[in-house]
Amino acid sequence: MGRRRKKVEKIIKKTLPEFYLCPKCGKNTMKATLNRKEGKASVVCGNCGLKSILKITNQMEEIDAYNRFIDSYYTGG
Ligand SMILES: [Zn+2]
């Protein structure tokens, strides 16, 4: 009986900060930082100072946090 375990050993260390497009100022200066302990992510624009804190799940990466932020930015939520 082969019981399959979910492998969770894929730990990708990202050292390079990734910057995303800011919906407010239009510059590529947004950075998402995950705080997995608290289940939150902060998305901050280094140019105009736009900032948002959002909830994340374990599966979410920086890009997902950013996408969620963009969603809520445009829907006003
Ligand atoms: Zn900005």
Number of domains in the chain: 1
27 assigned to some structural domain: yes
Q: Ligand 1 centre and the CA of 22: distance in Å?
A: 5
4 assigned to some structural domain: no
Q: Ligand 1 centre and the CA of 48: distance in Å?
A: 4
Give the pLDDT confidence of 14-42 residue by residue, as tens digits. Answer: 666 689 999 999 999 999 999 999 999 99
**CATH code of the domain containing 57:** 2.20.25.190
53 assigned to some structural domain: yes
Range of the domain at 70: 19-75
9 assigned to some structural domain: no
8-state DSSP, 16: S
Q: Mean pLDDT across the chain, nearest whole number?
A: 88
CB neighbours of residue 65 within 10 Å: 24
Q: Ligand 1 centre and the CA of 62: distance in Å?
A: 17
What is the percent of the chain where pLDDT is above 70?
83
6 assigned to some structural domain: no
Q: Residues lining ligand 1 (ion), CB within 5 A?
A: 22, 24-25, 45, 47-48, 50
Contact predicate 36/58, CB 8 Å: yes
The closest of 60, 68, 11 to 36, measured between CA atoms, is 60
